[in-house]
Amino acid sequence: MLDSKIIWKRAGSLTENDLVECATLFSAHYGIWAEGAGNRAGKRVRQSAGTLKDNYLRGPESWAAQAYHGNELIGYAFYQRSDLAGKGHVTWVTQFVVHKDHQNKGLGTRILRAIWSQSKQYAWGLVTANPAAVRALEKATLRRCEVTMIQKNWSALKNLVSSDLPYIAAVSKPMREGTTAVDTNFPLDRTESNATMDSLMSRGHDWQLGILGPLEEWAAFTFSEQAYSTEASSLVREWIADCDSTVVDAYQGMALDADHKWQSKTKHEVDYFLKSIESPSKAKIFDIGCGTGRHSIELAARGHNVVGVDTGSALLEKAIHSANSISNIKFECCDARLWRPNEKFDCGICLYDVVGSFADDVENAKILTTAYFCLKQGGYFLLTVMNGELMDSIAQHRTDNENLPMNLLSLEPSPTMQDTGNIFSPKYVLWHDEKGVAYRRELFESEKVAPCELVVRDRRYSKQEIKQLCETAGFEVVDIRYAKLGAWGNEVGPTDSSSKEIIILCKKPSESV
């Protein structure tokens, strides 16, 4: 799948440039006026930034999710979340556009997956004349659009959003029997959508929503009370893989302030590191996966020269702001697996389970290769990973590869990272015994991340597994121990309830090259 980044913003936080970008994409890729549009027929449908804001971002819970490839906007969804009395949340996409070069490649489904939660929802939907948008909805929600369900709920759904969406309020005619077509008086050329429909039908797709008239669009909705579709299992596997990148974007919007449990342990963790190594008083230190820079800044404040590295640009912006005017620290935005600085370091750290953030050992090993490359001969490297032995001893929900999708869907979601940081709570973890991988359905919601649900998976190691991985990278393992958060000096047993981390002190051999 195309490498793309999702950015969530509340409607009120969208800049003029954001809206202009969306209007430009809309005007170039949305569609063409049909013959019934008078002198506009044959021309592209265009809307200004102001029109987009006024017509599609009016509700109190209106959001935008923008997909970027590099610096180029390649797709977006405007949407709003409302509460339907006695039912639950309804998330309604008010506008949905994908760049023509990226259509039919899964980007639309990825955008919709990124804005919706599978839990606490009653319905998800949009109004469209494009069959591809309907299929993206069905794939993102793991359910099929059904005429009877949509017709039964249409009146309540329409009333819910009429005050915020003028084009829905203007719909006066009832749905035609056997379809979910509604008359939106929108004369859009159907050449491309008809070709999409022909392609679907040629592949044996069972289209449910009927055929549109000249001025009609489909009201396409799925509902939480529906059964999962027959394609749900394969779609969940896609969802898992897709979330690996989307989760990074969501984490950057989390409010991990000074009061968060993890933040409070910084001084102790830096104390432990400095006492464990032999280094100059002003050492050159790297911090792989530095995040908001809490360890980097503490080390710099103690006189060391520090370089922090992370893939999250928003996290690094926070780090730079927190570092203020400290001159002996700098931050670099890059993939740690590929980082190859020109300078060598006296020592380094990679804390809070950066190794393990990939489910694949091959990718985690690349981070260790980077650390080895960056160190001077005889340099020390402190690493922490999550304790797989503890997870295996407490797991309540287990899976193998074959049953992973359905087992994951039966797992209860939670806002663990934002609320407690306790990613070992067995109630919310699905444990893949054979692979040593933990899965969670993480709920995200903040001022910078709209309510959504993403699959988080991470590799958790036994002491022997991580020791072998470090040695394979070339390190000498000086010390390895099970430890509890904030008390790394006190070794505990492998299945002690507090032994959530394994701490590894490594050394690059002096004779290495």
Whether the CA torsion 77, 113, 229, 159 is positive or negative: it is negative
Q: Give residue-wise pLDDT tens across range 58-68.
A: 888 899 999 99
For the domain 263-387+461-507, what is the CATH code?
3.40.50.150
What are the C-alpha distances in Å from 156 to residues 62, 159, 237?
Answer: 19, 5, 34
Identify whether the C-beta of residue 192 lies closer than 8 Å to the C-beta of residue 201. no
Separation CA 18–CA 6 (nearest Å): 13
Separation CA 396–CA 428 (nearest Å): 9
pLDDT of residue 512 exceeding 80, the answer is: no
What's the pLDDT band for 377 if we cut at 50, 70, 90?
Answer: very high
Query: Cβ contacts of residue 174 below 8 Å, gap of 6+?
Result: none
Superfamily of domain 5-230: Gcn5-related N-acetyltransferase (GNAT) (3.40.630.30)
What's the pLDDT band for 1 if we cut at 50, 70, 90?
Answer: low
pLDDT of residue 117 exceeding 90, the answer is: no
Q: How many CB atoms lie within 10 A of CB 381?
A: 26
pLDDT of residue 119 exceeding 80, the answer is: no
Pick the more confident residue, 217 or 263: 217
Only one residue has tokens 């249409």, namely 154
Q: In 341-498, which ranges are continuous DSSP H helix? A: 361-374, 388-394, 404-409, 416-419, 463-472
Closest CA to 475 of 367, 386, 388: 367
Query: Cβ contacts of residue 298 below 8 Å, gap of 6+?
Result: 266, 267, 270
pLDDT of residue 281 exceeding 90, the answer is: no
Mean predicted confidence (pLDDT) in 482-502: 90
Q: What are phi and psi of 161, to 5 degrees?
A: -115, 0
- Can you give the pTM of this predicted structure? 0.90
Q: Give residue-wise pLDDT tens across range 379-402.
A: 999 999 999 999 999 999 999 999
Q: How many CB atoms lie within 10 A of CB 35?
A: 10
Identify whether the C-beta of residue 355 lies closer than 8 Å to the C-beta of residue 385. yes
- 306: exposed, middle or buried (C-beta count within 10 Å: 0-12, 13-18, 19+)? buried
Pick the more confident residue, 262 or 227: 227
Q: Give residue-wise pLDDT tens across range 128-177.
A: 999 999 999 999 999 999 999 999 999 999 998 888 888 898 888 889 88
Separation CA 479–CA 272 (nearest Å): 13
Which amino acid makes up residue 89? H
Q: Which residues pair with 501 in a beta bridge?
A: 386, 483
Q: Show me where the domains of the chain are located.
A: 5-230, 263-387+461-507, 389-458
Mean predicted confidence (pLDDT) in 35-63: 93
Separation CA 203–CA 132 (nearest Å): 14
Mean predicted confidence (pLDDT) in 251-264: 59
